[in-house]
Amino acid sequence: MNLTSIPALQDNYIWTLNDDEGRCLIVDPGEATPVLHTLEKNQWQPVAILLTHHHHDHVGGVAELLARYPALEVYGPEETRSKGAKTIVSEGDTVSVLGCNFTIYATPGHTLGHISYFSFPYLFCGDTLFSGGCGRLFEGTAKQMFDSFQKLNQLPEETLVCCAHEYTLSNLTFALAIYPQEVEIARYYREIKELRAKNGISLPTKLALERKINVFLRTQDIELQKQIGLETTPQHEWQVFAALREKKDAF
For the chain, count helices (H), then strands (E). Answer: 9, 14
Q: Give SS3 for 156.
A: coil
**Annotation marks residue 114 as catalytic:** no
Catalytic residue among 28, 54, 57, 114: 57
- Which residues on adjacent β-strands are paired with residue 96? 101
Catalytic residue among 19, 37, 54, 55: 55
Q: Give SS3 for 35.
A: helix
94 within 8 A of 101, measured Cβ to Cβ: yes
**Annotation marks residue 110 as catalytic:** yes
- Which residues on adjacent β-strands are paired with residue 116? 105
Catalytic residue among 110, 114, 221, 236: 110
**Annotation marks residue 56 as catalytic:** no
**Annotation marks residue 57 as catalytic:** yes
**Annotation marks residue 127 as catalytic:** yes
- Which residues on adjacent β-strands are paired with residue 7? 13
Catalytic residue among 28, 54, 114, 127: 127
Catalytic residue among 28, 54, 114, 165: 165
**Annotation marks residue 37 as catalytic:** no
Catalytic residue among 28, 54, 58, 114: 58
Q: Say how far apart CA 196 and CA 185 lie, in whole Å.
A: 16
**Annotation marks residue 55 as catalytic:** yes
CB atoms within 10 A of CB 207: 22
Q: Is residue 67 exposed (0-12), middle (13-18) or buried (19+ Cβ within 10 Å)?
A: exposed
Active-site positions? 53, 55, 57-58, 110, 127, 165
